């Protein structure tokens, strides 16, 4: 994959990228005590990045120059290295290179389709990857989106309740005793708590309705004064002031239905594959008692092609937040979907062949580190394009 990124650029830049990868691998290697494991981890990262067709044990072993997949399997199961330390390194690396005061933390989950019943957390459950109920594992991810690029901060494997209480399955899949059932919003809260504690510059939190419909997650964010734009269902109840001044609950779709024509504005929620993502948007300020400079809104998105197609968001943020700012954050939510697809396509996030709980964390953490390296390398290359173009133009003028 690093070689593929070299197309159309100078050879010295490709060599610089390779040198940066060596430095990156050496930096991560401090989490590993044994020299042979440290070297294998570094070779593993290079193997993930060279663009093998499948990131399974045999193909990765071949890319790493090893005769058999035994070493790869040990790296992902029994070798001693600090996977949570590498998770923290992932966060630090992403913030160092992509961090921004206006950065958005985005929560989402993705399904990993699996056969059988032995992979940790696997069950028949809804998978967004398949768009239906399938036998799958579900990972919850926290990504970071800033002006310079997008990469991941954290990851958690969703452990369904039936897994959490099945001692035999837990033992076979090496699920540790401290792993308990937690809802997806609870997993998101844990990852966000780690990010906030580490000082990640997060201006807003975004996520889909799985997270927006959770009063516990929204209340926790509000208690910490962390602004958010979280999608909710059309049936989501919202407390508003009634005609007599008393609070009453109204569904989000009912509030949207009462909006006048002048309340709507056409705005782009970022760029898509076919250009700006244009929608009509409107917001309704909601009652809020605490005088802490923060406000609440219902944000509504309406499709241009089908005006009956509406999406709804709960917004919490500074009282001066304007509609374009809310729309920007709502549009950023797509960043994690794109990041997950890139990670699957470029570093094989979904190509693991491990069943163990601990091995899932090891494989996914290394894949996200490889993805972060690619995103940072891409961001640096894009930032250098204007400077390089100007230098080439100057060379041409000098030659003429």
For the chain (400 residues), the mean pLDDT of every run of 10, in chain order, is 48 75 88 91 88 79 86 92 96 96 96 92 87 92 95 97 96 95 98 98 97 97 97 93 75 94 93 84 84 91 96 96 96 89 92 93 96 92 67 51
Q: What is the pLDDT of residue 7?
A: 47
Q: Is residue 284 part of a domain?
A: yes
Is residue 265 in a domain?
yes
**What domain range is 250 assigned to?**
214-331
76 belongs to a structural domain:
no
Provide the pLDDT for residue 63.
83
> Is position 41 within any domain?
no
Q: Is residue 91 part of a domain?
A: no
| Three-class HEC string of the chain | CCCHHHCCCCHHHHHHHHHHHHHHHHHHHHHCCCHHHHHHHHHHHHHHHCCCCCCCHHHHHHHCCCCCCHHHHHHHCCCCCCHHHHHHHHHHHHHHHHCCCCCEEEEEEEEEECCCCCCCCCEEEEECCCCEEEEEEEEEEEEEEECCEEEEEEEEECCCHHHHCCHHHHHHCCCCCCCCCCCHHHHHHHHHHHHHHCCCCCCEEEECHHHHCCHHHHHHHHHCCCCEEEEECCCCEEEEECCCCCEEEEEHHHHHHCCCHHHCEEEEEEEECCEEEEEEEEEEEECCCCCCCEEEEEEEEECCCCCCCEEEEEEEEECCCCHHHHHHHHHHCHHHHHHHHHHHHHHCCCCCCCCCHHHHHHHHHHHHHHHHHHHHHHHHHHHHHHHHHHHHHHHHHHHC
**Residue-level pLDDT at 4:** 45
pLDDT for residue 2: 45
In a domain, 317, yes or no: yes
What is the model's pLDDT at position 245?
Answer: 67
Decide if 113 is inside a domain: no
Confidence (pLDDT) at 395: 55
| 168 belongs to a structural domain | no
Domain count, the chain: 1
């Amino acid at each position: 994959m690093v070689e593929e990124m070299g197309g159309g650029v100078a050879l010295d830049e490709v060599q610089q990228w390779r040198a940066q990868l060596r430095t990156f691998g050496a930096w991560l290697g401090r989490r590993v005590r044994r020299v042979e494991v440290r070297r294998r981890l570094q070779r593993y990262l290079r193997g993930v990045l060279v663009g093998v067709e499948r990131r399974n044990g045999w193909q990765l072993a071949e890319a790493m120059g090893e005769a058999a997949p035994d070493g790869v399997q040990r790296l992902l199961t029994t070798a001693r290295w600090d996977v949570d330390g590498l998770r923290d390194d992932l966060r630090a690396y992403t913030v160092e290179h992509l961090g921004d005061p206006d950065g958005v933390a985005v929560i989402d989950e993705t399904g990993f389709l699996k056969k059988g019943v032995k992979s940790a957390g696997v069950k028949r459950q809804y998978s967004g990857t398949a768009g239906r109920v399938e036998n799958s594992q579900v990972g919850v991810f926290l990504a970071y989106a800033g002006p310079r690029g997008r990469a991941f901060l954290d990851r958690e494997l969703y452990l369904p309740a039936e897994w959490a209480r099945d001692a035999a399955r837990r033992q076979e899949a090496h699920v540790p005793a401290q792993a308990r059932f937690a809802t997806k919003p609870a997993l998101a809260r844990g990852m966000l708590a780690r990010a906030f504690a580490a000082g990640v510059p997060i201006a807003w939190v975004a996520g889909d309705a799985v997270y927006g419909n959770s009063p516990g997650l929204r209340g926790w964010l509000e208690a910490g004064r962390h602004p958010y734009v979280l999608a909710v269902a059309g049936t989501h109840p919202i407390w508003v002031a009634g005609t007599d001044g008393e609070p009453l609950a109204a569904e989000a779709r009912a509030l949207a239905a009462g909006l006048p024509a002048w309340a709507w504005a056409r705005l782009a929620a970022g760029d898509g594959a076919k250009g700006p993502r244009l929608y009509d948007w409107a917001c309704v300020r909601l009652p809020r008692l605490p005088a802490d400079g923060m406000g609440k809104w219902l944000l509504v998105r309406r499709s241009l092609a089908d005006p009956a197609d509406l999406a709804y968001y709960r917004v919490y943020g500074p009282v001066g937040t304007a509609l374009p700012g809310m729309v920007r954050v709502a549009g950023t939510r797509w960043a994690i979907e794109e990041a997950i697809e890139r990670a699957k396509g470029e570093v094989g996030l979904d190509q693991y062949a491990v069943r163990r709980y601990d091995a899932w964390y090891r494989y996914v953490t290394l894949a996200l580190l490889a993805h972060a390296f690619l995103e940072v390398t891409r961001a640096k290359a894009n930032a250098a394009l204007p400077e390089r173009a100007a230098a080439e133009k100057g060379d041409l003028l000098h030659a003429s």
